[in-house]
Amino acid sequence: MAGRSQKGLNMAWLSESIGHDSRAVNSRNGVICWPALPPGGHGNGGWPWVQGLPPVLYNSSREGEVLSIIFVFLDGVGLGPPGEGNPFSDGGMPALSRLLGGPLVSGREVDEPGLLLRPLDACLGVPGLPQSASGQVALFTGVNAAGLLGRHLPAYPNRPLIELIEERCILKSAGEMQLRATFANAYTPFYFEWVAKGLIRHSATTLCVLAAGLPFRSLDDLERGEAVFWDITHQQLATRYRRPVNVPLIEPEVAGKRLARLGGIHDLVLFESFLPDLFGHRPDPSGVGRTLEILDRFLISLLAAVEDETTVLVTSDHGNLEDLTVRTHTRNPVPLLVVGPEAEAFRHVDAITGVTPAILSALEP
């Protein structure tokens, strides 16, 4: 049973790696509370968004519980060299940088108990710039989609890739394994109107939901806190679609907690945000900065809120946002960040095609 370890794993390293002061730790019932960051840290010098959302300790008293994985797919995030033009290298995600011991840039790798960061090949031996359709299909099926087509395919999957998704995508495979799988993203009602009119086509993630026969989450689910929108805060929902939407804006921490709750009642949760790719293609400095802040706060609050048997995995399909000197995708590797008890199960993964097989192996009953 590959990767299916029931062994207790102490999470104290998580607080330590973000600058924790042992004198500030409040340990109660196996829980470590987050300390304050030093003055000048993210969020007015402290952790206002994670207080009350402590990371728990993995301990052997919880042996035998079923593990779960939250798969966070961030479209358009690569590992680029530090320096001017790479917004990840200049403190744009301070909380995540504390966790990793430095910024999310090429050359930084972490391999510790419960924490893994390694680069993944997104080019897959195919010339040209990696693209969304073939990259996402490779990520969600474990098959080299670009190699299958002989080229990188942008935007939406074509018929051969749709058939590949229908045959072996991660959500369908999880269902066949009798796992409780779900797609966390909420859909607007007009999304399906536009598809019916031929104005847009289904993305790889939506095709995965259809292939698995899973229900789509709606704006009603979003209002109840049972879904997450792709932009995390609902800002794009309020301004991008030119339709009246009565859904209030939320802080990134709220979205992180909501995603964590879904992980508590499912074996596998998939969430997609294409916010990084959106601003990578139109590199407005204020928009890029805000995007990194949202992602930083969202991810750290998610890690703080998940149950102790949940592993959080974050990766991408191709590079983009890490190089603001161009408005195209890049050939940079993408990060694989895994936090939780199953991190070790992903140490061998070196390409985006290895992510889905490793997830399914880790979750195998």
CA distance 286 to 284: 6
Q: How many domains does the chain have?
A: 1
Mapped onto helix, strand or coil, the DSSP state of residue 119 is strand
CA distance 169 to 157: 13
Query: How would you classify the pairing of strands 68-74 and 181-183?
Result: unpaired
Site of tokens 């195919």:
126
The answer to whether position 213 is within a domain reads yes
Mapped onto helix, strand or coil, the DSSP state of residue 330 is strand
8 Å CB contact between 352 and 132: no
The answer to whether position 318 is within a domain reads yes
pTM of the prediction? 0.84
Question: How open is the CA angle 177-174-71, to the nearest 5 degrees?
Answer: 145
| Residues sharing a CB contact under 8 Å with residue 15, sequence separation 6 or more, in sequence order | 25, 32, 34, 35, 55
pLDDT digits (tens, 9 = 90+) for 279-329: 888 867 788 999 999 999 999 999 999 999 999 999 999 999 999 899 899
The answer to whether position 51 is within a domain reads no
The answer to whether position 179 is within a domain reads yes
CA 59 to chain centre: 25
- For the chain, first and last CA: distance in Å? 8
Two tokens, residue 243: 């339709």
Mean pLDDT of 241-263: 91
Does the pLDDT of residue 53 top 70, yes or no?
no
CA distance 211 to 162: 9
The answer to whether position 97 is within a domain reads yes
Among 65, 2, 57, CA closest to 264: 65
pLDDT digits (tens, 9 = 90+) for 120-159: 999 999 999 999 999 999 999 999 999 999 999 999 999 9
Residues of the domain holding 151 = 65-362
Q: Does 8 or 347 have the greater pLDDT score?
A: 347
The answer to whether position 178 is within a domain reads yes
CATH at 174: 3.40.720.10
Q: Which helix (H) or strand (E) holds 183?
A: strand 181-183
The answer to whether position 205 is within a domain reads yes
Two tokens, residue 362: 């880790």
Q: Which helix (H) or strand (E) holds 118?
A: strand 115-120
The answer to whether position 100 is within a domain reads yes
Among 215, 128, 149, CA closest to 180: 215
